[in-house]
Every structure is written in structure tokens, then in C-alpha cells.
Amino acid sequence: MLVIGKQTMKVFEAEAINAANRKLFIYVQKRFPSFYETTSNRDLKIFIEKVRNTAKKYDVINENDVSLSLDFSIMYGENFWEQAWSSDVTSLNVLSGSDKMEILRQRVK
């Protein structure tokens, strides 16, 4: 049986997150061209990492949900999690991250 050490798993996880962040970078370029044009590449990378870290605090880890949290962060501000229209949902620990994002998606339609 193959056993993978904790350190090796951390390396794999970090690379997976880096790859996902690269996809989000390209996504922002296409979906929000005006935001991309006014943000340096370095700042956009930092912004994406910050959005992902904040999303994780709300149990949002599915890539589609992280992408939606990036949309909301660009459209409504990085603190959208705590705004009046969303905080009643994001503060509920009984909901999964995906459930929270689906409710918020419905609210902004």
C-alpha cells in the first residue's frame, strides 16, 4: 500500500490551490475586464488568495462556490459576507458553504 506523508500532501494541496487560483485569474480577466484592467497582476493574485481564504472561513471550499464568492467580492465588496443582504445566511453554521452560496445566488438573481 502506498502511504503519502503529511508534508507531501501539503505540497499537493498547495499546488492544487495554485492551479485553481490561476483559473480564477483567467476567469476574472474574462468576466470582469474593467476590474482586471484597473488591477495589477500582483494585486489580483493577492485579491484572489484573500477571497479564497475568507471563503474558507465560511466553509466555502467548492471551486464553483469560491468562484461565486469572487464574483460577489468584485460586485459588492470583499466584505459582502457581512452585509445586510447576506449576513443572515453567512452567519448560519448549520448550512454548508455550498448551501450558503446557493441561497445568496438566488438573492442576487
DSSP string for residues in 65-102: HHHHHHHHHHHH-TTGGGSTTTHHHHT-TTS-HHHHHH
Question: Does the predicted model carry a pTM greater than 0.85?
Answer: yes
Q: How many helices (H) and strands (E) does the chain have?
A: 6, 0
pLDDT digits (tens, 9 = 90+) for 49-102: 999 999 999 999 999 999 999 999 999 999 999 999 999 999 999 999 999 999
Position with higher pLDDT, 55 vs 4: 55
